[in-house]
């Protein structure tokens, strides 16, 4: 009796202090800090922990911050003291649990094997959690649970409900509200069942297998009714050994892509069916040499925007660092494409430069427009038939194989091609273009050459083009416009030797003399535009007489309606610092659609190395005749300077400030008090858009008769239709003198 009384008296004290000491010691071993405001341990009744707070040390791999208002523990002291197998807790009840768990240091201190075993022993026979809020984060992935309730027992069914679950990751973002379901807790396996996540997506069951967490292994299985089909999967993760190991297996069947896109919230409707899909993975994504994987999927009746395909099948496998593409098959009406092959997965970065692969391709495309639309192209830009067949292989830095392509009645970027014949040969260190021949009407393009694949990728070859009417191809460069019906034949020949081009050709114009040109320049593979600007160039251009009324227009909309353009130019050095010799003259030019309201123009420009002189330039509007002289400094094409001085007075008629000059208008003014302009100066880069214009006023006349200009004149930026604050610069000039009418002779009486 005395012993029973003593046990009744001292047990609460011993249990509470022993529990506090045990929790502190176990937590300290795992790098955790646990504080408990008060422990109540009545005799033969559950222990109650009030004000529980768990945090992690700074060197822990996980950042843990858990608080609970009250935790009730129904301890099985017999199993705890005698260290028997089974549950150490009969019941665990947690009230108002709030937690924040996130991975902070990938290489920090992790939970020990003893810690996982202790956690396993703490699994209760029944569990009850109320008013729970949790935040779990691993890298960019975040999971939030708000106002969650969970009850689970080995002897009866439990329930689960939560106000909201939010999942956010780089690939997926969704929120589920007011979820309710049933729970089951058997053999340390927690099952949730009967959850409706969203319309058409019902979670029949999801099971978390925690029975082997003491051996550092967990598993997850799920069964989902998804948008008219089934989705099943299992995931297990084991991290006991130095090599973390994942096992993933999943399958899907008859899932509606239309319902899936609507539920996820795609702005573009996707239609079709995921008829079948199987996926497996085993290993670690960071250790590709030890990983194996397989994928097989089949999509039917796929429709997205204007892209359609009757069937797409993909089969691939990864084993022993070998990637095998068993099949990529695309069927679209009368179009079919099949790819297959295998390759070695590189074990280090240097092996990416010497891949080991083998592949076969076969395609029979009877409507190139429909097939190109699958990859986002405008089907109206492409059309015709093409057949492709070939094989490629690479091993020990040696490449081999061949590829042939034949097409008929093709349309590529809205340009028609009657026939296409191509044959490529791949050898050890060389890609050979044995044949490339394009024919269109009377036009023909022939290319032959080779590319060195071993070192600097230098290339050599020949190019010959005979074009019946060059004007038909100008829409590729200038955009759509009215095509010139007059034929413009051209012949171009080029020889390439070690990346250096030597080209020459002639362009015939209706009713005009031919344009002759020669060009020599280096163009290595991968040359950027900035590098090309500083590369040596040798170019000559000879155009004795071009009648612009019959010539194809390079600009859209058209600028020249009539006139004669002649000249001869020679360019050397580089495009950035060119040396230009020659002259160009325009006679009786008729203009339209310019940013100046000029209707007629004539002029002569003489180029002398790095500078040019505008010997004369006469122009006219509807009411005004103008005359200019000027000079151009082009020793650096990134900083051009064009100065134009008017022979007749010009006036600045602006009545308000202009942020950006989009157009210049010249009007007739008989008398004005507006400030006069003696010189117009334009500055900017030839291949840039940040041009400016200076309006310089006369300040006076020096003793030698030279005109003194205001060097701090008004400076205006030019936007030419590209800026949001466009404006018209209004200039004035004296009107054209009216012709003197002849006097009538007096009649004799």
- What percent of the chain has a predicted confidence (pLDDT) above 90? 38
Residue-wise pLDDT tens digits, 408-451: 998 887 778 899 999 988 877 778 888 899 998 889 999 999 88
The DSSP 8-state label assigned to residue 212 in this structure reads T
22 lies in some domain: yes
38 lies in some domain: yes
Q: What would the mean pLDDT of 530-555 be, rounded to a whole number?
A: 88
φ, ψ of residue 8 to 5 degrees: the values are -65, -35
Looking at the predicted structure, is the pLDDT value of residue 576 above 90? yes
The DSSP 8-state label assigned to residue 536 in this structure reads B
Residue-wise pLDDT tens digits, 650-667: 888 887 778 888 888 888
159 lies in some domain: yes
Residue-wise pLDDT tens digits, 183-208: 999 988 999 998 888 778 888 999 99
What is the C-alpha to C-alpha distance for residues 642 and 8, in angstroms, rounded to an integer?
A: 106
Domain boundary among 117, 152, 186: 186
Would the CA dihedral through 580, 581, 582, 588 be positive or negative?
positive
295 lies in some domain: no
215-247 CB burial, b ≥16 within 10 A, e <16: ebbbbebbbbebbebebebbbbebbeeeeebee
The answer to whether the CB of 666 falls within 8 A of the CB of 652 is no
Looking at the predicted structure, is the pLDDT value of residue 23 above 60? yes
Q: How many CB atoms lie within 10 A of CB 16?
A: 19
- 3-state SS, 13-59, equals HHHHHHHHHHHHHHHHHCCEEEEEEEEECCCCCCEEEEEEEEEECCC
Per-residue pLDDT, 216: 87
100 lies in some domain: yes
673: Cβ contacts below 8 Å, ≥ 6 apart? none
What is the C-alpha to C-alpha distance for residues 713 and 694, in angstroms, rounded to an integer?
A: 6
How far are the Cα atoms of 164, 181, 228, 258, 471 from residue 203, in angstroms, in the given order? 16, 9, 13, 19, 64
Q: How many CB atoms lie within 10 A of CB 211?
A: 16
Domain boundary among 149, 168, 186: 186
pTM: 0.62
334 lies in some domain: no
What is the C-alpha to C-alpha distance for residues 50 and 70, in angstroms, rounded to an integer?
A: 5
Q: Which domain holds residue 95?
A: 2-186
Position 220 confidence tier, pLDDT thresholds 50, 70, 90 = very high
What is the C-alpha to C-alpha distance for residues 16 and 6, in angstroms, rounded to an integer?
A: 16
Q: What would the mean pLDDT of 344-367 be, rounded to a whole number?
A: 71
What is the C-alpha to C-alpha distance for residues 650 and 733, in angstroms, rounded to an integer?
A: 5
- For the record, the structure tokens of 184 come out as 């089951």
- What percent of the chain has a predicted confidence (pLDDT) above 70? 86
Domain boundary among 186, 210, 245: 186
Per-residue pLDDT, 421: 94
37 lies in some domain: yes
479 lies in some domain: no
Per-residue pLDDT, 16: 79
In the chain, the number of structural domains is 2
Per-residue pLDDT, 276: 93
The answer to whether the CB of 481 falls within 8 A of the CB of 473 is no
How far are the Cα atoms of 171, 266, 337 from residue 305, in angstroms, in the given order? 21, 12, 21
Residue-wise pLDDT tens digits, 694-704: 888 876 555 55
What is the C-alpha to C-alpha distance for residues 535 and 531, in angstroms, rounded to an integer?
A: 6
What is the C-alpha to C-alpha distance for residues 293 and 444, in angstroms, rounded to an integer?
A: 49
The answer to whether the CB of 684 falls within 8 A of the CB of 692 is yes
What is the C-alpha to C-alpha distance for residues 629 and 644, in angstroms, rounded to an integer?
A: 6
């Amino acid at each position: 009796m005395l012993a029973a009384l003593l046990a009744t008296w001292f047990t609460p004290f011993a249990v509470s202090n022993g529990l506090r000491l045990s929790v502190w010691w176990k937590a300290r071993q795992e790098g955790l800090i646990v504080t408990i405001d008060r422990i109540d341990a009545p005799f033969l009744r559950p222990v109650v922990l009030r004000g529980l707070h768990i945090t992690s040390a700074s060197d822990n791999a996980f950042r843990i911050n858990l608080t609970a208002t009250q935790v009730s523990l129904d301890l099985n002291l017999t199993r705890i003291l005698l260290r028997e197998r089974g549950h150490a807790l009969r019941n665990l009840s947690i009230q108002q649990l709030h937690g924040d768990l996130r991975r902070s240091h990938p290489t920090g201190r992790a939970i020990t094997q003893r810690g996982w075993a202790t956690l396993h022993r703490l699994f209760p026979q029944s569990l009850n959690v109320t008013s729970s809020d949790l935040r779990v984060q691993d890298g960019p992935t975040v999971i939030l649970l708000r106002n969650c309730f969970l009850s689970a027992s080995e002897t009866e069914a439990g329930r689960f409900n939560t106000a909201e679950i939010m999942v956010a990751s780089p690939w997926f973002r969704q929120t589920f509200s007011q979820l309710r379901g049933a729970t089951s807790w058997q053999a340390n396996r927690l099952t949730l069942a009967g959850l409706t996540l969203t319309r058409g997506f019902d979670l029949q069951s999801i099971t978390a297998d925690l029975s082997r967490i003491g051996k550092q292994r967990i598993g997850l299985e799920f069964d989902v009714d998804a948008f008219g089909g089934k989705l099943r999967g299992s995931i297990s993760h084991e991290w006991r050994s130095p090599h973390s190991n994942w096992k993933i297996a999943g399958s899907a069947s008859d899932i509606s892509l239309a319902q899936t896109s609507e539920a996820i919230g795609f702005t573009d409707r996707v239609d079709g069916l995921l008829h079948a899909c199987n996926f497996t993975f085993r290993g670690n994504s960071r250790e590709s040499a030890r990983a194996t994987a397989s994928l097989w999927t089949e999509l039917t009746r796929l429709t997205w925007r204007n892209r359609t395909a009757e069937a797409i099948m993909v089969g691939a496998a990864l084993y022993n660092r070998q990637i095998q593409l068993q099949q990529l098959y695309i069927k679209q009406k009368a179009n079919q494409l099949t790819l297959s092959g295998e390759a070695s997965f590189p074990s280090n970065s240097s092996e990416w430069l010497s891949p080991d692969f083998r592949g076969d391709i076969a395609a029979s495309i009877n409507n190139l427009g429909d097939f190109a639309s699958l990859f986002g192209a405008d089907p109206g830009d492409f059309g015709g038939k093409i057949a492709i067949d070939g094989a490629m292989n690479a091993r020990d830095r040696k490449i081999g194989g061949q590829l042939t392509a034949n097409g008929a009645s093709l349309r590529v970027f809205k340009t028609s091609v009657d026939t296409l014949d191509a044959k490529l040969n791949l050898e050890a260190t060389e890609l050979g273009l044995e044949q490339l021949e394009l024919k269109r009407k009377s036009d023909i393009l022939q290319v032959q050459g080779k590319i060195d694949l071993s070192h600097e990728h230098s290339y050599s070859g020949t190019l010959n083009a005979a074009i019946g009417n060059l004007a038909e191809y100008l829409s590729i460069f200038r955009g759509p416009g009215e095509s010139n019906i007059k034929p413009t034949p051209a012949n171009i020949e080029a020889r390439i030797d070690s990346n250096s081009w030597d080209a020459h050709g002639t362009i015939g114009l209706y009713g005009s003399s031919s344009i002759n040109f020669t060009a020599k320049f280096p163009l290595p593979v991968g040359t950027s535009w900035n590098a090309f600007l500083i590369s040596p160039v040798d170019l000559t251009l000879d155009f004795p007489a071009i009648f612009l009324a019959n010539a194809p227009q390079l600009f859209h909309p058209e600028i020249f309606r009539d006139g004669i353009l002649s000249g001869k130019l020679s360019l050397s050095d580089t495009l950035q610092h060119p040396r230009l010799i020659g002259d160009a003259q325009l006679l009786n030019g008729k203009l339209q659609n310019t940013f100046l309201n000029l209707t007629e123009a004539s002029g002569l420009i003489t180029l002398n190395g790095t500078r040019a002189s505008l010997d004369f330039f006469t122009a006219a509007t509807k009411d005004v005749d103008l005359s200019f002289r000027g000079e151009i400094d082009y020793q650096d094409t990134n900083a051009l300077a064009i100065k134009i001085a008017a022979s007749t007075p010009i006036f600045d008629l602006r009545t308000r400030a202009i942020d950006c000059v989009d157009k210049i208008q010249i009007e007739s003014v008989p008398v004005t008090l507006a400030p006069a302009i003696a010189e117009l100066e334009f500055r900017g880069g030839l291949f840039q858009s940040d041009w400016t214009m200076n309006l310089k006023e006369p300040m006076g006349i020096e003793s030698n008769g030279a005109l003194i200009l205001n060097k701090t004149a008004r400076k205006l930026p030019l936007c030419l239709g590209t800026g949001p604050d466009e404006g018209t610069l209004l200039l004035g000039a004296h009107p054209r003198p009216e012709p003197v009418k002849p006097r009538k002779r007096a009649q004799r009486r």
